[in-house]
Amino acid sequence: MEEKRQFLCGVVEGFYGRPWSMDQRKVLFQWMQHWGLNTYLYGPKDDLKHRLLWREVYSPEEEGQLRTLIVEAQSRGLRFVYALSPGQDIVFSSSCDLTLLKRKLRQVSDLGCQAFAILFDDIDHSMCQADSEAFSSFAHAQVTVTNEIYRFLGEPPVFLFCPTEYCGSLCSPSVSKSPYLQTVGEDLLPSITVIWTGSKVISRKLSVDCLAEVESVLQRPPLIWDNLHANDYDSRRLFLGPFKGRDPQLKSHLRGLLLNPNCEFEANYIPLHTLGSWYRAGNEDRKDEECEYSPDRALATALRDWMEELNQPLQAGRQSTRADQRSSAPASHGKTPDTPSCPSTFRGTSAVAKLPVFPLNSSSPPPSPTKVKVERVEGEKKRSIQPSQPNHQLPGSRPGAPSGGNRGQKAQGRGLCGGKGLLSESQVQLLVGLHYLPHEHGPSAQKLLQELTWLKTNCHLVSANNKKAPPQKVDEWHGRASRFLSLCEDIAQLHCSVVGGANRAVLYDLYPYVWDLRNTALVAKAFICWLDGRVFSDSSTLGSWRNCFHWCGKTTGADLLGVESEPWVFKGGVSGEVQMLLPVGSSSELFTHPPPLFPTSRLYNIRPYHSKDKVELYRMVRQLHLRTQGGQESSAAHPDVIGDRCLGPCLALCPEYCFILEDELGVCGCVLGILDVRSFAKRCQASWMPAMRDKYPSKGSNTHPNTQDLIQLMEEDQGEYPDSLLYHFPSQLRLDALPELVDISVSRTLLTALLTALKANGSQGVFCEVQPTDRQRLEFLTKLGFLEILRGEARSREGVVLGRLL
């Protein structure tokens, strides 16, 4: 009886995606014991023999692992609950299926398990003909089988039942009037506990009133399967915030509460730490604890403890786990909710591996994280003296090009970020604030979104054609812009510190998220820098982008959806909201892409072009040209001729649409844009080409023969494009970068920054001409939504024109 009365509080491993490893679960049990939690429910949706192949018994090897897990949990004073999900294809009236169900649970019982759960979540309500003839309703069928299994197992003290209607929003027509729940309440044996998630699949708050209603219908206090920190429904979201929105007084109305946390094991330190604080709050036998639970106080305590964990080298057991776990992981895929969610919150059935640590074709991982780190850092250092492997080249760059002459120098104001170091307390607070809770952003995320919203809404103060703005308002804009840029730099530094940290387990679980937000912040930072003096105000006929996204400027995702909406309706979390505040925010293919196989701590920055960059850019494209073209060096007499052809017109006539990519060593790439190709071509003929003819005269002793060939190509570059093309795609872009980039994803980010600027000033479409043999660049642009619109028609020479609507 004592065991039946104990409040069950702990963890449910019930998400979709790669299950935790045995070593991770052992660490989990250590945490739970230390924090006073008492129950672990085993029910990972992607364990085939838990759900899809529930009829199959475990092999001798699997039996051994499960027995070890059960013994480990019991040795820590934890209750191990084994869950089975037969609902997808069970025939309730089939004696054969019932026998197989009993066989499976008897096998687990013989391994020492004394607590069980039968889950009927995420399944179709319809029954087969045989079941329809045997049972009066779907609920009747489930209850009948559950009662028989419960008796077969000897009426264990802990036996859980998850209904198909497991939250208020799934009940028809309502909780109190649901025939399904009424049948469960009346016919399910009273000692069986019913699982419930609250008013929603992911409930922002749990109230006494709502629980009293469901308790009345079920005729027993429910057990909460809490999805507050579950993230298996959105590949861009992670929840590091405290356990919140559940008053400890709810315990008197519940049988228990089990938290279904993040898929990424290492992300669950704070959620479970604070859950332990919540559980202990108010316990009569814990006079040393605070009587009332405070999420903020619990978070502060958990942060202090997590700091020690974050800055500890990875322990041997967890180290080997991560290597084995991810070396064969599939490439990252997005997770799309397309079927009704179960308590796990993910609404599909595909496994998701966020970040493979080693190359996908690697049969075995390197022997230690230290070696991986050394190899990675050395690979980055080599960039200034030799090119990287072809698969690390930036699309559009040219193989084998050496680095620029002063590439070894640090970029001004930026330092190297390499080697293992300690995450500071402010960085951990920033990390948690950016990945807080599904219905609530942390302080740093709120600040980021508020500043970006205000700067965007008031960008007319610094627009290119607004000379009447009050000086104090302009100063305010610049001050807030400075704070926003500083926060973006903190995010970039956080990414660097996570990669360079000592705890590699934390790195590989958190890296996809800090990397994604780093890239989004790079675009946002470049955009805010670009707005100052470059964006057109509303008086311009082109300045219409803000009208298309006016709702983003006034609300956050949670406000937009309302507190009653499920968080998966608005994708992307903080990254998604920053993205939607940008002019091209609806183009998700520009922002969602897999992280690199090898994490890199290199710091990148994207910013508008300055005139001082011209020398370095000219040197960069000259080297790229010479390495790919070979032959005689025509630039010996005229070192600027390649730069003048490739970059010169844009840098001279529309520098406001040129963006620079730089890292700690200096400039490493650029993207150039032309807002209106028609007017640009006229300006080239009127001013640029005459200047080039004067600079490179046709006669003279210093004129190299190949120079005139290049000048002729300059003339051809100004050839006309068809009106049918320019009507839909009035803008043009050119992408160049050095091939030694370690993280090739920054090329996407660089291009996105330009598309954001073009869209902001009214462009409806952009095109890029590519040679048919440049397959790498063709593939790169295609992945970003560019489609082939012309081939061999735009110029006298062969070329493929790819276009993209904005």
Q: Which residues are catalytic?
A: 122
DSSP letter for 258, please: E
Whole-angstrom distance, CA of residue 617 vs CA of residue 737: 9
* CB within 8 Å of 777: residues ≥ 6 apart: 395, 396, 735, 770
Q: Does residue 789 contact residue 778 with C-beta atoms inside 8 Å?
A: no
* Residue whose pair of structure tokens reads 């859980």 in the numeric block: 160
Whole-angstrom distance, CA of residue 42 vs CA of residue 682: 69
CA 185 to chain centre: 41
DSSP bridge partners of 257:
9, 224
Q: Does residue 354 contact residue 235 with C-beta atoms inside 8 Å?
A: yes
- State residue 623 phi and psi, 5-degree precision: -65, -40
DSSP bridge partners of 735:
671
* Residue whose pair of structure tokens reads 């329809």 in the numeric block: 132
C-alpha dihedral sign at 494, 497, 498, 499:
positive
Whole-angstrom distance, CA of residue 161 vs CA of residue 775: 55
Whole-angstrom distance, CA of residue 403 vs CA of residue 392: 15
Q: Which amino acid is at 186?
A: E
Whole-angstrom distance, CA of residue 155 vs CA of residue 157: 6
Whole-angstrom distance, CA of residue 753 vs CA of residue 745: 13
Whole-angstrom distance, CA of residue 105 vs CA of residue 100: 9
DSSP letter for 444, please: H
Whole-angstrom distance, CA of residue 520 vs CA of residue 530: 15
DSSP bridge partners of 378:
none
Q: Does residue 285 contact residue 252 with C-beta atoms inside 8 Å?
A: no
CA 443 to chain centre: 19
Whole-angstrom distance, CA of residue 509 vs CA of residue 600: 15
DSSP letter for 168, please: G
Task: Classify strands 39-42 and 79-84 as parallel, antiparallel or unpaired.
Answer: parallel
Q: Does residue 289 contact residue 407 with C-beta atoms inside 8 Å?
A: no
Length of the chain: 806
Whole-angstrom distance, CA of residue 260 vs CA of residue 345: 9
What totals of helices (H) and strands (E) does the chain contain, helices first?
28, 15
Q: Is the peptide bond before 173 cis (omega within 30 degrees of 0)?
A: yes
Concatenated DSSP letters of 570-603: STTHHHHHHHHTSTTTT-GGGT--PPPSS-----
CA 147 to chain centre: 43
